[in-house]
Amino acid sequence: MNSRERQETAMEWFERQPADRKLEALFRSEVMSRCELYNRKAYLNYTAAINETARDFRINSSTIWRWKALIEGVSKIDWLPYLCPRKTMPVLNLPSACIIADGVK
């Protein structure tokens, strides 16, 4: 599979995701774009750019570093599938024996 086919596959996967995941990917992309802006236009090194962006968006800088790792070497136009959340919390199906009368286990 060549890079073009991989890109189409990633975008096809992204398009099938629920709206909330797509919105989160868009938010993450906006955050990473701000980092790029600070790095290129404000002439900040990447650590300073991430710290400034973290303050702007009120998120932890370690979160931005994780997102940066996800898109390392990926063209900006292809960021959304890579920044889209993949994990969801499983729905717990507890047996009724686990539930006490007051609803606390």
The residue among 99 and 51 whose pLDDT is bigger is 51
- pLDDT-based confidence at 92, cuts 50/70/90? low
- pLDDT-based confidence at 98, cuts 50/70/90? very low
Residues 6+ apart with CB under 8 A from 105: 94, 98, 99
- Per-residue pLDDT at 91: 54
SS3 37: helix
Q: Return the minimum-mean-pLDDT range out of 14-28, 59-73, 90-104.
A: 90-104
Contact at 8 Å (CB) between 16 and 63? Answer: no
User: What mean pLDDT do residues 15-35 have?
Assistant: 96
- pLDDT-based confidence at 3, cuts 50/70/90? low
Contact at 8 Å (CB) between 82 and 11? Answer: no
- pLDDT-based confidence at 30, cuts 50/70/90? very high
What is the residue-averaged pLDDT of the chain?
A: 85
